[in-house]
Structure 1
């Protein structure tokens, strides 16, 4: 490379370096400028958004939004613009609540008692939102003590709900009792110490609950087998009851809305069966290779003149001696129901349970590789003792309890 070209290249590199340095200094300024613009526009956007909410009458939205901003950042750069907006929104919200209260209080009734209470509740809660800010910045607002009017309006509202609930209970129907219970639950959330509340809640729950009287009868023989008796005597599933459903399996002195009776009509057992059978297994596998030959014993060549290889097939054989143990037990039952309120009966509904004992085991002679995968499983099994009738009775009792429980849960 000649001297002139080297100088030109050096000069170009110097220019590029100065250009790069100049832009490196400018880039942070651009970032700062853009960041400032974003902050300015973001700030303006926040103020405009609150002004729009104020113009639309969404006073509490403005109070909540600005209060949250100033709590998180007491030195907010827009504090001077935000505080007047907050003061205006607060005063207008209070003014609107007072206007509504004046209108509602001219016609005192049950429905209005609810609205009056919640308006006073809103006034008190709004004060709680703004009050902490007055400790750290100058906010021109007036706070009032709503304790007395809150307590009075809450008691009036609770009394209205209680009167409604008692009226519903007086109709003496299950559906109305459940509606009454909902009203009483509202009272409990408002004022748990309300006089007579717990007693009336219990009454509403009892009247709204569907009570089922459940009986199980054994009609399959003269004597109920002891294992089945043990299962049925312990029929007290704690998770069966629901809020509006109660199942009574023993003596019950209270109201029964619907009776359910399970009659076990038959209980039978099959014999102990043991069946033996012999099965032949065959399997073909490749066992190496050899050259193909024609009928004269000459090696067969392919189109390229190369000897053709063919696999050697080996036949594997085994004899499987399989044994099958089998026993069955069947329980047959029927369900009857009676609705005492309507005076109607329904049934019978069949409820049958089948219990099967099966066990396969085997041994073999010959080559193990000839056996199927299921054969190999049976080879690892051993003969088992046949279940006794008592064991199967107990298992059937658990099965029929489970099925009967699901059936009961579907009752209306």
Structure 2
């Protein structure tokens, strides 16, 4: 049973009062099981009241559709008098509010109102559809049934009038636009007209496309290499081949090549490479000597007379011989670095002015170790021997070093653009 806030059924109050009259509350003489029973009952009561309060609170706040939705779901599972009453109240209040609003909007006679009028009729229709899934309903002697209302004619009429309004308004904005924002407003109005018209306007797709194209801000992104190191075009293109998602909005379009020489750009982003510092090829050799004692056969043990001594079994006595072997490991370390510094300039093309500068930078390095040995490799440890299996590599060229740095520099450039994306509208 649903308990409404501020209300308890009489039988529930009587039972609860009986509980307290018979002393099922905590005293020094109260048995523990009785105290626990009292606590459990009070806890259940609080849960019931809290659960019921949610729909009542929604009603008080005017969230009628939320109450209708919740109570209908509960009534589908299990019909209940309190839920039915809550649904009925919320349904009537929601309909009353929508009808009053529709009446006001029609009386105002503003063409801009038909969009909301259509939405209100749509809400009435959907609410009616929802309630009809559980009505007519009879619980505890009360029947809940509502007369069916056909909203289609009013919806169609308001939809057509809304379409006319959005079409005329959008076309007027398009014809008299002075700036990007006007074209964008026209686009939204025409899209709305298209949604409502159902093919009523033959040229609307062309108008939407025109508004879209004229409302778009186009950005050309280019590399300007000011360093002494000349880079192939493909390397410069690779530096700015990054993901543009998140850099703008639906009205910003990034170009990385002049796809059309006659294209008019609203913004330019210049990625200026101010300095590219590539270090000389650096080679360093370090030596390490390894020694090891290994078996070198055996020798006989001689007595004072120079004769071979024998053990008690008559066998010749001999001792194992050892010798020391040496190997020199020459480790070669190759090292080369690149550091790129620059700045991102954001320029407005109309009017022609610098909007913002943002510095960026990145670095990378080439490092390789190899080794060769002189002497007996048997003296080497396993790790040292494995190093001798690595060969020396040719140093990358300066351009190769820049290409190696590309994957580091691209996020730096993108982050610089992202940090200033608010300037591109």
Instruction: Give the TM-score range, shorter chain.
Output: 0.5 to 0.7
Q: 2:73 matched to 1:68?
A: yes
Matched, 1:325 2:309: no
Q: What TM-score do you get using the length of structure 1 for normalisation?
A: 0.59
Match of 1:127, SS state, is helix
Structure-1 residue corresponding to 2:252: 245
Match of 2:179 among 173, 178, 181: 173
Q: Does the CA contact (< 8 Å) of 2:171 and 2:190 recur in 1?
A: no
TM-score (norm 2): 0.57
**2:219 equivalent in structure 1:** 212
Q: Cα distance 1:193–1:394, how it changes in 2: closer, same or farther (>3 A)? A: same
Match of 1:10 in 2: none
Deviations 1:193-233 (A, max 9, x none): 563554444344434433122344567679x66xx333345
Shift of 1:386: 2.0
Aligned 8 A contact 1:173 1:207 in 2: no
Q: Tell me, in whole angstroms, the C-alpha distance in 2 between the residues paired with 1:376 and 1:199.
A: 74
1:259 corresponds, among 258, 263, 268, to 268
What is the aligned partner in structure 2 of residue 106 from structure 1?
Answer: 107
Aligned to 1:145: 150
Q: Are the aligned partners of 1:231 and 1:398 in contact in 2 as well (CA < 8 Å)?
A: no
Equivalent in the alignment of 1:116: 117
Alignment of 1:4-403 (within 5 A): 60=65, 63-73=68-78, 76=79, 78-79=80-81, 86-87=87-88, 90-134=91-135, 139-163=144-168, 165=170, 170-179=176-185, 181=187, 193=199, 195=201, 197-216=204-223, 228-232=232-236, 237=241, 239-240=243-244, 242=248, 243-248=250-255, 249-252=257-260, 253-262=262-271, 270-278=279-287, 321-329=330-338, 338-345=347-354, 354-361=363-370, 382-389=391-398, 391-392=400-401, 394-395=403-404, 403=412
Aligned counterparts of 1:337 and 1:175: Cα–Cα separation in 2:
21
CA RMSD of aligned residues (A): 5.1
Separation in 2 of the partners of 1:118 and 1:238? 43
CA distance in 2, matches of 1:260, 1:268: 23
Q: Kindly tell me: are residues 361 and 167 of structure 1, through their superposed partners in 2, closer, same or farther at Cα, counting changes over 3 Å?
A: same
Task: Judge conservation of contact 2:358–2:416 (CA < 8 Å) in 1.
Answer: no
Name the structure 1 match of 2:318: none
CA drift at 1:146 = 0.6
Question: CA, structure 1 residues 103+379, in 2 after alignment: closer, same or farther (shift >3 Å)?
Answer: same
Number of residue pairs matched? 333
SS of residue matched to 1:326? strand
1:125: how far off?
1.1
Q: 1:57 to 1:265 in 2, by over 3 A?
A: closer
* Change over 3 Å in CA distance of 1:280–1:201 after alignment to 2: farther
Q: Deviations over 1:152-173 (max 9, x none)?
A: 2233334444555556654433
Change (3 A) 1:384 1:107: same
Aligned-pair CA distance for 1:357: 1.9
Gapped regions of structure 2 (runs ≥ 5): 1-32, 291-326
After TM superposition, give the deviation of residue 143 of structure 1 in Å: 1.0
The answer as to whether partners of 1:319 and 1:366 remain within 8 angstroms in 2 is no
Q: Structure 1: where are the runs of 5+ without partners?
A: 1-26, 282-317
Q: 1:153 to 1:349 in 2, by over 3 A?
A: closer
